[in-house]
A and B are shown apart, each in its own frame.
Chain A
Amino acid sequence: MSVRVGIPGALLYYLYYPAWSVFFRSLGAEVVSSGRTTSEMLDQGVREALADACVPVKLYFGHVMTLAQKVDYLFIPRVVCLNKETTYCPKFLGMPDMIRHSIPDLPPMIDVRLDAREGWNALRLAYRQAAEMLGAGRWAADRAYWKAAAAERRLQALLQKGCQPPEAIKMLNRGVARPVPETTARASTGMVFAVLGYPYIIHDQYISLGMLPKLQKMGVRVVTAENLPHRQLMHWHSKLDKRLFWTFSDLCMRATEYLYARGGVDGIIHLTAFGCGPDSLLDKFMEMKAREQKTIPFMSLTIDEQSGEAGVATRLEAFVDMVRRKKGALPGA
């Protein structure tokens, strides 16, 4: 029987699961993911992680614990930097250590350090290390790496076509390469909202309290930072004196600047998690930008483990109504 490698379904899962699963599969391992978040996972995470951590990190703990007994290896990489420029939140950097030292009885962890700044093929070498832990040789590792890279490109392509990560992951798993035109859903109001924030908050049905489907039900089409043209975002010069240090925060800030300059959406919602460090800055900067420009209505929503679905729904509805009225008032809109 092949070894089973577990990939927790939280944090970077939403952007890197396809690549990671392809990588381990092509090494001959079986990949197990913890799947969608459930309330037990959150409870477990809340119990195990400390009270002061942010919700996504608690959830990650929950996912790890769900997986722990089902797999032979856990893939918990130390993701430092993947684009040679910005790093991830310090909690990502310390994740393997936090997990190792606070959850008892874990299977062995594949905790390679992914830091693209260390050299042009640092990532490849890191993946080689991961493969080595499973007993695979260099060539197998490199082949798996290229396959993984291809999978990542496929995911990016889907995202750029307007898919959201969870659908895209599903499609890739099923082997569909082209998005199904789901134009029927957008229909009614013709409004487009940008929902900005970290992918593991927005796309986690549980943390975001089903925000995207809710908006879609109200007849609003949603774009996220992943859907915006990546190249242009990266070249978009940000007016901050210094770039935000963290990859996702930087991306959100750029997306905000980009949207305010280019238009194309009717509202912007920033979804942030209770107790998130980087967001305290990001949210303020976004809010200031919104106040400066006033062209696109902006709302920021903070979510914690106790947020009620009803409260969020009410705020969403109010915001949608406000935008609709504003839009109706505009001549020719």
Chain B
Amino acid sequence: MPKVTFPHVAESYRAFKMLLEDLGNEVILPPRPSMHTLDRGVQYAPEFACFPVKILLGTYLETCPQGVELIVTSGGVGPCRAGHYAQLHKKILRSLGYPIDIIVFEPPRLYPLDFLHNIQRLNPGRLSYRSVYECIKRAWRKLQALDDLEKLSHRVRPREITRGATTRTYRKVLEWIDRAYTWREIETAASSALHALHEVPQDPFRRILRVGIVGEIYVLLEPASNLEIEETLGHLGVEVERSMFLTGWTRDNTWAETSEGLTVKDAALPYLPELLGGHGRDSIGNTILYAKRGFDGVIQLAPFTCIPEIVARTILPRVSRDHNIPVLTFFLDEQTGKAGTATRLEAFVDLMRRKKSKQAGSDCNESLPWHRRGFGKYQYSNLR
């Protein structure tokens, strides 16, 4: 059985593992990126490589010593660097003496033959196309379940009564989904997991802020690379909505919700008519959509030296002024500290709160998150 590994992107590894094992590969699980991962990546990657390149390289360097033969990853066409990642990784890993090969999945719509060919390479069990299709379908369902769950956790966390309860429950129910295998099991696990998450005790009256998150896809999807910004925000009483998920399905909701039925592309058009590769244009378009939907603010996450996001960042202040929505940008790299980030986040949250209460003409204290309000009686009892 060929030993296969793949990049770590949040919880998605649970689905990919299932898929690759179904096809008859031995999967070497990528560990969650840690400081150690980063150190390794930084050591061997070019200094100005995008942050994701460094993390991925670090991850591979942790799995390769376990005898990995194949790395499965996704490519990218168009003028951004993502399309060259795989080659760079291959060259570096080979020069370090790991005889690996990399399979790059390009969008199947553009390269249908390559896609099939790649599937065959990962199919040592020689399953029929039909059963391969079944496996993919199940894995996709699992991915969707994982995305749904994550999305819900973003909504529950700012309202939770006991701090940390959401995260604890979330961790627990992830395992349920992980264990599910057949279509039926996945469906059941998904719905009971969602249910369990709903059951986390919440304060429905809490005034929360809503923040949209835009930016480059990898740092958006992998919490380990963005210092768990969503969790941090949740604890500050902010509900986040991320503009991108692996399964991408949430987009349709977003589009429908704006009254004008704007697409991300249309929204960005007056500011950035050109597709830059990467997600620069989406960052702008989504910011505008969030503003139109009445969000309190937008946070842009980008890897340091990320070209499309730098372009977007140059234009965003204008968007922010035109649409009256605060925007905060984080350029992330191995030197980004958690403490500094938290301070900037808190300041940003305060700013949004002040802006909001000025608009509503309401009492400031009320709108603070519970852990920063004075301990009134009611609050105290909630705190146990």
Residues of A within 8 A of B (CB): 49-50, 52-53, 78, 80, 87-91, 93-94, 97-98, 101-102, 113, 240-242, 244-246, 274-281, 283-285, 288, 291, 302
For A94, list chain B residues within 8 Å (CB): 272, 274, 276, 280, 308, 311, 314-315
State how many angstroms separate the Cβ of A262 from the closest Cβ of chain B: 23
Question: Given known contacts A53-B314, A94-B276, is B78 in contact with A245 (CB within 8 Å)?
Answer: yes
State how many angstroms separate the Cβ of B224 from the closest Cβ of chain A: 22
Alpha-carbon separation in the docked complex, A278 to B50 (Å): 10
By the criterion CB–CB under 8 Å, are A280 and B277 in contact?
no
By the criterion CB–CB under 8 Å, are A281 and B307 in contact?
no
- Residue from B49, B276, B314 within 8 A of A49 (CB atoms): B314
By the criterion CB–CB under 8 Å, are A275 and B46 in contact?
no
By the criterion CB–CB under 8 Å, are B317 and A240 in contact?
no
For A291, list chain B residues within 8 Å (CB): 95
By the criterion CB–CB under 8 Å, are A280 and B310 in contact?
no
Q: Is the interface of A mostly helix, strand, loop or mixed?
A: mixed
- Residue from B79, B84, B306 within 8 A of A281 (CB atoms): B84
- Residue from A52, A89, A97 within 8 A of B271 (CB atoms): A97
Would you mind naming 10 contact pairs between A and B with Cβ atoms under 8 Å apart?
A90-B278, A90-B280, A98-B314, A102-B315, A245-B78, A245-B80, A277-B306, A281-B88, A283-B46, A284-B45
Q: Is B172 an interface residue (CB 8 A)?
A: no
Q: Is B273 an interface residue (CB 8 A)?
A: yes
State which residues 50-83 of B face A: CB under 8 Å.
Answer: 50, 53, 78-81, 83
State how many angstroms separate the Cβ of A58 from the closest Cβ of chain B: 11
Question: Given known contacts A275-B48, A280-B48, A280-B50, is B311 in contact with A288 (CB within 8 Å)?
Answer: no
- In the complex, what residue of chain B is closest to A87 when comparing beta carbons? B79
Alpha-carbon separation in the docked complex, A240 to B92 (Å): 13
State how many angstroms separate the Cβ of B92 from the closest Cβ of chain A: 8
Q: Is B331 an interface residue (CB 8 A)?
A: yes
By the criterion CB–CB under 8 Å, are A90 and B308 in contact?
yes
Alpha-carbon separation in the docked complex, A53 to B302 (Å): 13
Q: Is B154 an interface residue (CB 8 A)?
A: no
- Residue from B48, B83, B274, B314 within 8 A of A245 (CB atoms): B83
Q: Is B179 an interface residue (CB 8 A)?
A: no
A-B complex: 7 closest residue pairs judged by Cβ atoms: A94-B311, A280-B48, A101-B318, A90-B276, A277-B307, A98-B314, A280-B46
Question: Across the A-B interface, how many residue pairs have beta carbons closer than 8 Å?
Answer: 113
By the criterion CB–CB under 8 Å, are A246 and B318 in contact?
no
- Residue from A97, A277, A288 within 8 A of B272 (CB atoms): A97
For A242, list chain B residues within 8 Å (CB): 83-84, 87
- In the complex, what residue of chain A is closest to B302 when comparing beta carbons? A52
By the criterion CB–CB under 8 Å, are B304 and A90 in contact?
no
Alpha-carbon separation in the docked complex, A241 to B114 (Å): 14
Q: A53-B314, A278-B81, A281-B49 are in contact. List 8 more A-B contacts (CB 8 A).
A: A50-B310, A90-B311, A93-B274, A101-B318, A242-B83, A246-B79, A277-B305, A280-B305
By the criterion CB–CB under 8 Å, are B331 and A52 in contact?
yes
Alpha-carbon separation in the docked complex, A90 to B45 (Å): 22
Alpha-carbon separation in the docked complex, A97 to B81 (Å): 21
By the criterion CB–CB under 8 Å, are A90 and B91 in contact?
no
Binary flags per residue of B168-185, CB closer than 8 Å to A gives 1, else 0: 000000000000000000
- In the complex, what residue of chain A is closest to B321 when comparing beta carbons? A101
State how many angstroms separate the Cβ of B289 from the closest Cβ of chain A: 18
For B278, list chain A residues within 8 Å (CB): 90
By the criterion CB–CB under 8 Å, are B46 and A98 in contact?
no
By the criterion CB–CB under 8 Å, are B50 and A89 in contact?
no
- In the complex, what residue of chain B is closest to A272 when comparing beta carbons? B48
By the criterion CB–CB under 8 Å, are A101 and B91 in contact?
no
- In the complex, what residue of chain B is closest to A243 when comparing beta carbons? B84
State how many angstroms separate the Cβ of A273 from the closest Cβ of chain B: 9
Question: Given known contacts A90-B277, A246-B79, A275-B48, is B308 in contact with A101 (CB within 8 Å)?
Answer: no
For A101, list chain B residues within 8 Å (CB): 271, 314-315, 317-319
Alpha-carbon separation in the docked complex, A291 to B95 (Å): 10
For B50, list chain A residues within 8 Å (CB): 277, 280
For A281, list chain B residues within 8 Å (CB): 46, 49, 81, 84, 88
By the criterion CB–CB under 8 Å, are B314 and A102 in contact?
yes
State how many angstroms separate the Cβ of A47 from the closest Cβ of chain B: 13
